[in-house]
Structure 1
Amino acid sequence: MSLFNVYPLFDITPVKAEDVYVFDENNTKYLDLYGGHAVISIGHSHPKYVKHISEQVSKLGFYSNSIQNPLQVDLATKLGKLSGCKEYQLFLCNSGAEANENGLKLASFHNGKKKVIAFKNGFHGRTSAAVAATDNAKIVAPINAQQEVEILELGDLVALEKSLAKNDVCAVIIEFIQGVGGLDESTAEFYEAINTLCKKYNTCFIADEVQSGFGRTGDFFAFQKYNVTPDIISIAKGMGNGFPIGGILIHPDIKASFGLLGTTFGGNHLACVASSTVLEVIEEEKLMQNATKISAYFIEKAKEISEIKNIKGRGLMLGLEFDFPIAELRKKLIFNQKIFTGSAKNPNLLRILPPLTIKKEHVDALFDAIKSELS
């Protein structure tokens, strides 16, 4: 049997990793400044992470959600404390797409409406309603396109209120910093107006924090820079440091009932231990503070390179925008300089999503490599 060929692959085969470094089968060392799409939050193979997961799998790796699981309660308690969202409720699933699916479904249950508003260049997943709310027609199949979704220009408040006034929108979903779309952000006025308008028109406000959450921006969540209170917050990626886990934080105004949502694997024992350990390490090693500190240093270093026309993002969710397509530069960084970086829908944007444990010396290595390849 062969693999279904949907991924264009670089000819690199990682076999082990440690902190910000990945090693291939020839023991070639690569600096990982992409973290597997912002998944690696506390560094590869963190000793505490390895220890806790190993201990848990030796006792109990999985049982269904039909029994008591104190690890879920422990995770919810830690997450509420560190995120500052203690009043929210937690539903656990397995991925970012699932998180957004459950968020959209819950919104529709809550207010009885079915239309969704999303924004240009947004990305929310590859399944059902999540992909319909994603601004990429190439990955929306006809079965997805039957969902009622309106995609608006980021920042267009007039169009937003006009659509909400029809009173058929169950949810407005937005990334406060766009990931795949290219690190675009709108204004405080826009985000705070969404918050107000959603309350006015009985619409759920969903903050997609799948990529930006768990300290990546320097705040625990990207939305916390603004005066907003989302009804639902979707999380995944950095939540498990590589172990598949996702979830939604649900405002207490939204009430639960048996059978409303459900999952087989979501919130399993290993996933809970993985995410609880991530939270412990983020707090103990002050990784949100590190994200802020290294981000400031990164921005100053980027200003030294004239070919960089714009620096986008916040914390360690960053983009370097050039006035030329970066595909070739990215290949040179991988194969010549042994540095992993990422791309985006914007062809001129080099995306930087390193582990939150990154140090200044790693930033120096990146910019030395870029200078070398551009000279």
Structure 2
Amino acid sequence: MKLFDVFEKLPVNLVRGKGNYVYDDKNFSYLDLYGGHGVISIGHSHPHYVSEVTKQLHALAFYSNTIENSLQSTLAHRIGVLSNYEDYQIFFSNTGAEANENALKIASFHTGRSQVIAFSKSFHGRTSAAVAATDIEALRAPINQSDKVVFMPFNDIDSVRKLLKTNEFCAVIIEAIQGVAGVYVADDLFLQELQQACKETGTMLIVDEIQSGYGRSGKFFSHQYAGVKPDLITVAKGIANGYPMAATLISPFIEAKVGQLGTTFGGNHLACAAALSVLDVLEDEGLVNNVAEVGDYLMSELLNVKGVIAVRGRGLMIGVDFDYPIIQLRHKLLVDEYVFTGYSGNYTLRLLPALTFTKELTDIFISKLKKVIEDASR
């Protein structure tokens, strides 16, 4: 049997990782500025993470949600305290797409409405409702096509406000920072006015923090820069540093009904142990503050790189636009300088290093990036 080959793969076989570096089967080390789509939050193989996951694995790795799981309650409390959402409810699942599916279902159940507003260039996942709210036509199979979702211009409040007045929409779903699109930040004023428009029309505001959350922006959630408080918030990616886990945060005025949502693996014992260890490290090492400081430094240094025409983002979620296609640049960074980066489209490098990234590592990366660019111009 062979693999169903749907992934565009880099020619590297990684076998281990430590901190901000990963190592291939030939023992070459690579500086990691991508973290496997922003999943690695506290660095590869962090000692505390390894210890806590191993300890839980020896105790009890899994049982279903038919029994009490005190780890879930502990994790819910810790997330509430650190995010300043102590009064919210939480539902644990496995992936970002699932978290968004659940948020959209809850909004529809609560309002009795079926229409959704999403935004141009959005990405919310590949499952049924999530992909219907994703503005990438190629990802939607015929079975996923939906007339329930209307796509509006990002950061354009007037067009959204006009549409909401029809009172047909259960939810507006928006990424606080659009990741796949190339790291575009939702304006603070736009989010504030969007929240107000949703309140006036009884529409649920869902903020997708799957990539931008958990400290990556320099705050626990990126939307907190705008001072808004959404009805539903979705998180995944870095929540458990590589262990599959996600969550939907739910406003206290939304009533939970038995059987309304379900999951086999979501919030299992091992996942909760992994997620709790991430919160331990976030607190003990002051990573949210580190992200704000190092992110500002990295973005300022990138502006001094030849060919860079724009730098966007917050914290350690950064899009870098070049005035030429970056396919070869990214390839050369990997094969010549042993650096992992992401991309969006033809002109944008996407950087999502672990929240443990440092100014010293920034200097190393900038030096390698400039070298590749200089070598290419000879």
Which range moved further: 323-332 or 90-99? 323-332
Question: Residues 54-203 of structure 1: matches in 2 within 5 Å?
Answer: 54-203=54-203
Question: Residues 263-274 of structure 1: matches in 2 within 5 Å?
Answer: 263-274=263-274
Matched AA of 2:41? S
Which residue pairs with 2:8 in the alignment?
8
Aligned 8 A contact 2:299 2:318 in 1: no
Which residue pairs with 1:374 in the alignment?
373
Q: In 1, Cα distance between the equivalents of 2:300 and 2:226?
A: 25
| Deviation (angstroms), 1:191 | 0.8
Matched AA of 1:121? K
Which range moved further: 69-78 or 182-191? 182-191
Q: In 2, Cα distance between the equivalents of 1:245 and 1:325?
A: 35
| Deviation (angstroms), 1:299 | 2.0
Q: In 2, Cα distance between the equivalents of 1:247 and 1:226?
A: 22
1:50-74 residue CA offsets vs partner (Å, 9 max, x unmatched): 0111010111100010101000000
TM-score, length-normalised on structure 2? Answer: 0.97
* Counterpart secondary structure, 1:282: helix
Aligned 8 A contact 1:43 1:356 in 2: yes
Tell me if 1:362 matches 2:341.
no
Aligned 8 A contact 2:307 2:324 in 1: no
Which residue pairs with 1:278 in the alignment?
278
Which range moved further: 289-298 or 96-105? 289-298
Matched AA of 2:118? A
Question: Residues 237-316 of structure 1: matches in 2 within 5 Å?
Answer: 237-316=237-316
Aligned 8 A contact 2:237 2:245 in 1: yes
1:344-374 residue CA offsets vs partner (Å, 9 max, x unmatched): 1x32110110001111121111111111111
Q: In 2, Cα distance between the equivalents of 1:147 and 1:105?
A: 16
1:173-222 residue CA offsets vs partner (Å, 9 max, x unmatched): 00111100111123222111110011111110001000001000010000
Could you say if the C-alpha distance between residues 67 and 147 of structure 1 is closer, same or farther in structure 2, counting changes exceeding 3 Å?
A: farther
TM-score, length-normalised on structure 1? Answer: 0.98
Which residue pairs with 1:352 in the alignment?
351
Which range moved further: 365-374 or 171-180? 365-374
Q: In 1, Cα distance between the equivalents of 2:255 and 2:34?
A: 38
Aligned 8 A contact 1:207 1:233 in 2: yes
Structure 1 gaps, min length 5 = none
Which residue pairs with 2:27 in the alignment?
27
Which range moved further: 299-308 or 49-58? 299-308
Q: In 1, Cα distance between the equivalents of 2:361 and 2:189?
A: 36
Aligned 8 A contact 1:129 1:147 in 2: no
| Deviation (angstroms), 1:147 | 4.9
Which residue pairs with 1:317 in the alignment?
317
Matched AA of 1:91? F
1:26-85 residue CA offsets vs partner (Å, 9 max, x unmatched): 001000110000000000000010011101011110001010100000000110111111
Matched AA of 2:355? L
Which residue pairs with 2:338 in the alignment?
338
Q: In 2, Cα distance between the equivalents of 1:146 and 1:136?
A: 13
| Deviation (angstroms), 1:294 | 0.5
1:242-280 residue CA offsets vs partner (Å, 9 max, x unmatched): 000001000001110111111110000000011111011
Question: Residues 221-236 of structure 1: matches in 2 within 5 Å?
Answer: 221-236=221-236
* Counterpart secondary structure, 1:166: coil
| Deviation (angstroms), 1:144 | 1.1
| Deviation (angstroms), 1:166 | 1.4
Which range moved further: 158-167 or 270-279? 158-167
Q: In 1, Cα distance between the equivalents of 2:204 and 2:262?
A: 20
* Counterpart secondary structure, 1:198: helix
| Deviation (angstroms), 1:142 | 1.4
Aligned 8 A contact 2:21 2:44 in 1: yes
Aligned 8 A contact 2:111 2:202 in 1: yes
| Deviation (angstroms), 1:300 | 2.4
Q: In 2, Cα distance between the equivalents of 1:270 and 1:236?
A: 15
Q: In 2, Cα distance between the equivalents of 1:361 and 1:225?
A: 27
Which residue pairs with 1:44 in the alignment?
44
Aligned 8 A contact 2:306 2:373 in 1: no
% identity of equivalent residues: 48
Which residue pairs with 2:219 in the alignment?
219
* Counterpart secondary structure, 2:178: coil
* Counterpart secondary structure, 1:151: strand
* Counterpart secondary structure, 1:79: helix
* Counterpart secondary structure, 1:146: coil
Equivalent pairs, count: 374
Structure 2 gaps, min length 5 = none
Q: In 2, Cα distance between the equivalents of 1:227 and 1:305?
A: 33
Could you say if the C-alpha distance between residues 95 and 147 of structure 1 is closer, same or farther in structure 2, counting changes exceeding 3 Å?
A: farther
